[in-house]
Amino acid sequence: MNITIREGLKDDLPAVLKLIKELADYENSLDQVTITLYDLEQDGFGSHPWFWFLVAEKDSVIIGISFYWIRYSTWKGKFLFLEDFVIKEKYRRYGVGSKLFEETIKICKKLNLNGMTWQVLDWNIPAIDFYRKFDAEISKDWLNGKLTKKQIENINKIL
């Protein structure tokens, strides 16, 4: 399969949003996606980009994304945080994910970061197995915490 991996462009964002929604649907959380194309354009291609991404293409059609940003650990320094990594279902098991993941690792090396981190759902065995092929550690120790914008606004009413 002839696959091209390249840096993402603003014009790619409609296809990226579709893949984000495809992943959310796979994770039974499509109703949680509130990001818009406008948000992605402003946040990724405004005066201060908050994220970057790579795309995997076959015949000029985007079939996968590696969507990342840089996070800072007070213990370890700079890390690439892989926010979303998705390959269209019909192109899985053809090595597309490996090529895309390897290119993401190359970015980590190029930026001289201290590593890569990501999250994976505990029931997503195919993804866990994929990451383990790269000798990745999958932690069961850490729990995720978050406050939504609405929760923060409600806290501000109290403060």
CA–CA dist 47, 58 (Å, integer): 31
HEC profile of 24-67:
HHHCCCHHHCCCCHHHHHHHHHCCCCCCEEEEEEECCEEEEEEE
Q: Which residues are catalytic?
A: 131
CA–CA dist 131, 120 (Å, integer): 9
CA–CA dist 16, 48 (Å, integer): 19
pLDDT tens-place string over residues 32-54: 999 999 999 999 999 999 999 99
Question: Which domains, from first to last, does the chain contain?
Answer: 4-158 (3.40.630.30)
Task: At 59, list the tokens.
Answer: 């015949």
Please tell me the pTM assigned to this model.
0.92
pLDDT tens-place string over residues 69-93: 999 999 999 999 999 999 999 999 9
